[in-house]
Amino acid sequence: MATYEIVPNLSEGRDAATIDAAIHAAEGAGARVLHRTSDPVHHRSVLTIAGSASAVLDAAVALAGVAAERIDLREHRGVHPRIGALDVLPFVPLQGGSMEEAVSLAHAAGTRIWERYRIPSFFYAHAAHSPERRLLANVRRGEFEGLTARFADPAWHPDRGDIAAHPSAGAIAIGARPILIAFNIELADGDLSIARAIAKQLRERDGGLRTLRALGLRLRDDLVQLSLNVTDYRATPLHRIVELVRGLARAHGTRVVRSELIGLMPREAAAAAASYYLGVSPPKPESISNS
């Protein structure tokens, strides 16, 4: 049986009871929750959920219902951009799965969520219907507060649903994509322009690394963050990114404080980073434990 993963990003990072309810809904649909992480500054939580095609589809629809019931974006404030209570919903093929099926699941989720909860959605990445919607950053531009203006533009009507955003839950970016690594790097500086400048130098859409998405965010008055999505960890290994950021940070008169993994990552990526920093030969795939 093919296995798929969903990695829902919920616009709630402070109320553990809401995330507990989301996990209960996903597990009640027959999927397995592998990991959860919440950040109160981003005001965002990321779940990693796996199961059969039908289980992750049912879990995705159930999660949308929990988010719509418990999250009101009219009162939501966090540093991370968002358009919806259930903000991002990617479907990822794992063992035995195919991208074609992941696209079908993404489209089915959009349809079922609209029919049940009246929340519109945009399709991005491999599920996109147009090149302009492939990049998540394009879909999320203007955030929740800009949805009314965006829906007024015929070029940005939702892929599922009518042109009225849900009043409190907004819209959802639903996609199909390969495995990616969500990875943050913090800098010992409060100057947001430094983080944004480094992000612009690094990210693909501004001519940087071809498989990297990057945002600069302020966490505190003395701390900024590079929020990174590594879309091909073999082409752009984590240690390369970290060392590039170290050099760019020094050029701006600051330094790296720490890095942070959001969700899970493949063992191969962890082994490559450990190999680089420990100075040992990369382990063969069969020598990496599955436990």
Task: Report pLDDT digits (tens) over 113-161.
Answer: 999 999 999 999 999 999 999 999 999 999 999 999 999 999 999 999 9
The active-site residue out of 42, 43, 80, 126 is 80
How confident is the model at residue 282, as a pLDDT?
A: 63
How confident is the model at residue 288, as a pLDDT?
A: 46
Angstrom distances, CA of residue 34 to CA of 22, 58, 131, 234? 13, 16, 32, 23
How confident is the model at residue 284, as a pLDDT?
A: 61
Q: Is residue 239 annotated as part of the catalytic site, yes or no?
A: no
Task: Please check whether residue 121 is in contact with residue 171, taking contact to mean a CB–CB distance below 8 angstroms.
Answer: yes
* Residue 109 identity (one-letter amino acid): A
How confident is the model at residue 287, as a pLDDT?
A: 45
What domains appear along the chain, each with residue ranges and CATH number? 4-176 (3.30.990.10), 181-280 (3.30.70.670)
Rg (CA), the chain: 19
Whole-prediction pTM: 0.91
Residue 279, token pair as written in the block: 């100075």
Task: Please check whether residue 156 is in contact with residue 149, taking contact to mean a CB–CB distance below 8 angstroms.
Answer: no
Report, as ranges of residue numbers, the positions in the chain whose pLDDT lies below 70. Answer: 282-291
Find the length of the chain: 291
Q: How far is CA 62 from the centre of its chain?
A: 19
How confident is the model at residue 263, as a pLDDT?
A: 92
Show Cβ contacts of residue 87 under 8 Å, excluding neighbours closer than 6 positions. Answer: 9, 10, 11, 44, 140, 170, 172, 173
